Chains A and B, each alone.
Chain A
Amino acid sequence: MKNSLKNIYDFISDHLYFYRPDLEISGEKYNSTLLFSLLTAILQGKQLIVGEPGLGKTTSAEYICSVFYQIPLGTIWLSEIAGHPEQTEEKIVGRPNLGLLNKGIESVVWSNFVQLPVKIVDEINRLPETKQSIILDGVDRGNWEYLNEMFINDEYCLFATANYQDLGTFTIIAPMLDRFDVMVESKHPGANISYLIGPFYKKDELLRHERYEKELNKLLNSRLPYKTKMERTEKVCEKFGKYLKKKGLKPVSKEERKAIQDQMEKLELDLDANAYLRTLISELSFCYKYGQKRANEKCEEGCHFTGYLCHSIKNCISNRFPISIRVYAQALAWLLGEKQVNIEHIKTVAPYALSHRLQWKEEFVATHEKEVRVDPLPIYLAKVAVDRVLERYGEQRESIKEALAIGYSVSQGEEIALLEGDHPIYWEIKRDLGEL
């Protein structure tokens, strides 16, 4: 099954999405957009893809979803939501059945966007904030509501794209941003690769199939009960999958997807990865004076913890962050054939899971914004932060792990003195044990 996923990655990179690798893990080079898109598809995650117009943000998501979920590209196009200010709830979620409405009967016609497991919102930052709120709940739990009817997805992943701020765009609201697991940038592939894209302009044909697209469209528009509809949809998708096999792909069925997810979930973090993650979270949430970080509270001048990340950020990291980082790191470790999640996996995933969740202070931004980099500033700052915490962790890893081990003993009732240290993690352990 690992080979299937690697096969999907290779197929897309060879035929569909052309890029330069910008990530190295375990000696292998990958493209962050494609890799994280693949992981998001497996994990049923939520991914925000940013980038300049025309650099393959939407197409990369479309290709991954088409291949991974075995849905023809044409069907995916029909289910996409375009972000523009005139977007309405009726176009996003569903509309009343007009025929029945005129007879006085309320019945909802759900949109393809809601019904399909693949959800792509193009240029989400062009949606007004009110419309972003509409899809907030659906995006978060797979629950969609319209006219008091509810639709629940049992399997879904979300890809949203956003251009950089221009006059036509809004801000993505903070609760919405926090719900994204990762943010990646779809970069320009460079002059030579870009030149190669020209002759491949009809590459979309590889993932299209007119007959299956018509069948799926008919099914999605039908009045069948949801369960039956999804079973028949899955059958059509399997037929499309067989078609893709002839092209050299090894698509993954629904059962296999479930099996992969189970295997990934079972991977444990090794002690270093575990301790490092706790160390990172502590620096992003700790405040000695006010109990925790808060966006409306300023750091005290001359605070003892000036050297830690808590001094460089304004807000507190949410609890969605450890969930995102853990599942993506597990997925990455599984994909690389590792038996445990180690620090390298955490370190690779962390910046992408953090960049859209942090509000940096101006001094920190000013110090780093002029440095040479290949990533957009938010991702670069997150990488700097992750590296700094790793450096600090490396210096004290035995002590930190020992502090956590002592924490275990103390919480079991043993009377041992807790380890003292400068780092916020030591303080957090004390707080957890009621010593502060």
Chain B
Amino acid sequence: MKNLFSEFKNFRPKRREIPLDNIITSKEKVMQTLIKSYNKLVEQEAKELVWLVSYHSVIRAYASAEKSIKNMEYGVEDIEEFLFEIEDSSKLPYPIMGLSGIYTAALCNHAKEREIVFDLRNRNITLHLLGYRLPEGKKLLVYGDLGDFTGIGLNGGEIWVEGNTGNWTGAGMKRGKMVIKKNVGRRTGEDMVGGEIYVEGKILGIGNIRYGRVYEKGEIVSL
């Protein structure tokens, strides 16, 4: 019987490539790695998809996150894209905002760039724990609102939020600077041991501040 496909015997596909193809391919690889390691973190830390914030769980989760992203090559754009992936439920069906925040914090802390800008306005995402242990020399600028525990354990870096933050902002921060352009929630600066928090809007409640300063609309409110 005649070969059914004989007319295509000599066909060789012409795949015209443009630089966009390589950019997308390499970017997809990085994203796959990031998502894979995030999923692994969720598997390890979240029991039945529930993760409760506590002093120890945060430390543990951060350590796991650091371990998983060690030796990974990525940039700020990859982190931004990861934040988009969190929003898209088809890629990440069970995003846990707390763990996402910790993971993002680990990524930011270990990124090559010194200044990191996120635009979270009109986004379907509320990140908690962003800015955890941000080290000195790093600046994190966020447009939009953040969730709870923003900048906890700040370790010398700068966090600027052009929006609101939730409760426990700057809790346990050691040193560094936080500027929140709008309002913050309760227990602000709880257990902070250094650094400064500038709030240009309202503070719903001050936490138990050991050392460091909290300013509300330019006036110091911490004792």
Q: Are A and B in direct contact (Cβ within 8 Å)?
A: yes
- Size of the B side of the interface (Cβ < 8 Å), in residues, is 12
The distance in angstroms between the C-alpha atoms of A269 and B12, with both chains bound, is 17
State whether the Cβ of A95 lies closer than 8 Å to any Cβ in chain B.
Answer: no
Contact size range, A: 10 to 19
Is B9 a contact of A408 with CB atoms below 8 Å? yes
Enumerate chain B residues within 8 angstroms of A401, measured Cβ to Cβ.
8, 11, 13
Pair A404/B3 contact, Cβ less than 8 Å: no
Q: How far is the CB of A432 from chain B (nearest CB, A)?
A: 6
**Number of A-B contacts defined by CB within 8 Å:** 40
A402 to B8, CA, bound (A): 8
Over the window 379-420 of chain A, the binary record of Cβ atoms lying under 8 Å from chain B Cβ atoms (1 yes, 0 no) is 000000000000000000011011011011001100000000
A423 to chain B, nearest CB (A): 16
Which label, helix, strand, loop or mixed, suits the secondary structure of the A interface?
helix
Known: A398-B14, A398-B15. A407 touches B9 (CB 8 A): no
- The interface of chain A, by Cβ under 8 A from chain B, is 269, 271, 274-275, 398-399, 401-402, 404-405, 407-408, 411-412, 429, 432
In the complex, B4 has a CB within 8 A of chain A: yes
Residues of A close to B55: CB separation below 8 A = none
The answer for the CA separation of A402 and B13 in the assembled complex, in Å, is 6
Mostly helix, strand, loop or mixed at chain B's interface? loop
B7 within 8 A of A: yes
Could you list which residues of chain B lie within 8 angstroms of chain A, going by C-beta atoms? 3-9, 11-15
* Contact (Cβ within 8 A) A398 B8: no
Complex CA gap A407/B9 in Å reads 9
Chain B residues lying within 8 Å of A402, measured Cβ to Cβ, are 11, 13
Cβ B8 vs Cβ A271 within 8 A: yes
Q: Cα distance A245–B193 when bound, in Å? A: 109
Q: Which residues of B contact A404 (CB under 8 A)?
A: 5, 7-8, 11
Which residue of chain B lies nearest to A410 when distances are taken between CB atoms in the complex?
Answer: B5
CB-defined contacts of A407 to chain B, threshold 8 Å: 4-5, 8
| 13 A-B pairs with C-beta separation under 8 A | A271-B7, A271-B11, A275-B8, A401-B13, A404-B5, A404-B7, A405-B5, A405-B9, A405-B13, A407-B4, A407-B5, A408-B8, A411-B3
| Complex alpha-carbon distance, A407 and B4, angstroms | 8
Q: Are B3 and A405 in contact (CB under 8 A)?
A: no
**Closest residue to B7 on the A side, CB-wise?**
A274
Per a CB cutoff under 8 Å, which of A398, A408, A411, A432 touches B13?
A: A398
Give complex CA distance A30, B142 in Å.
Answer: 63
CA distance A275 to B4 in the complex (A): 12
User: Once the chains bind, are A411 and B11 in contact (CB under 8 Å)?
Assistant: no
Residues of B within 8 A of A429 (CB): 5
Of A405, A411, A412, the residue contacting B12 (CB under 8 A) is: A405
Q: Which residues of A contact B14 (CB under 8 A)?
A: 398
Residues of A within 8 A of B11 (CB): 271, 401-402, 404-405
Bound-complex Cα distance A224 to B96 (A):
95
Cβ of B5 to closest chain A Cβ, rounded Å = 4
Q: Smallest Cβ distance from A163 to chain B, in angstroms?
A: 42
